[in-house]
Structure 1
C-alpha cells in the first residue's frame, strides 16, 4: 500500500516493526499459523492485505503483515513460519 511505501525503510530503526510478505502453499494455507505464532512467540500480527486463490487445483495465498514484538521474538516467529513451509520475505521496517 502507498502509505506503507512512504514509511518503509530498508534497515531497522528504534521502535520499528518488520513488514513481511508471507507466501502460503499446500498445507500452510489452511493452518492457523499466525495465531500460533502469537501464542508461541508473544508477537502480534497486523494483516495489511491478503489474497488467497486456486491455481491448477492448488490453494495458495500471499499476505502482507506487520509483526509486532521484540526482535528476538519476531526472529523466532519468522524462523518457525519458515519451518512450517511459509516463504517469508522481510520487505523492510515501518
Structure 2
C-alpha cells in the first residue's frame, strides 16, 4: 500500500514538473518577442539586433520597477506587495 502511494506521489510530481517546463518563462517570452521583431535579418546583423533588443527589454523592465517603487512609497507589507504586483503587470 505504501509503495503504491509512493509511486502515485512520484508520478504526480513528475507530471507537475513537466507542466512547469512547458510554460514559457519571462526570458523565453522576451526572446520570442525579439525573434519576431528580427524578421528576416541574418548573420551578424541579426545577432546585434537580438542583443540590443534583449538589453532594451531588460532596461524597460528596470525602468518600470523604478516607477512602481516610487509610486509605492508609503505602502507597507501586503498592501505594497499587492500594489507592486499589479503595477509591474500593467502593459506587459
State whether TM-score is above 0.5.
Answer: no
Q: Which has the larger radius of gyration?
A: 2
TM-score by length of 1: 0.24
Larger fraction in strand:
1
Larger fraction in helix:
2
Higher relative contact order (CA 8 A, sep 6+): 1
TM-score by length of 2: 0.25
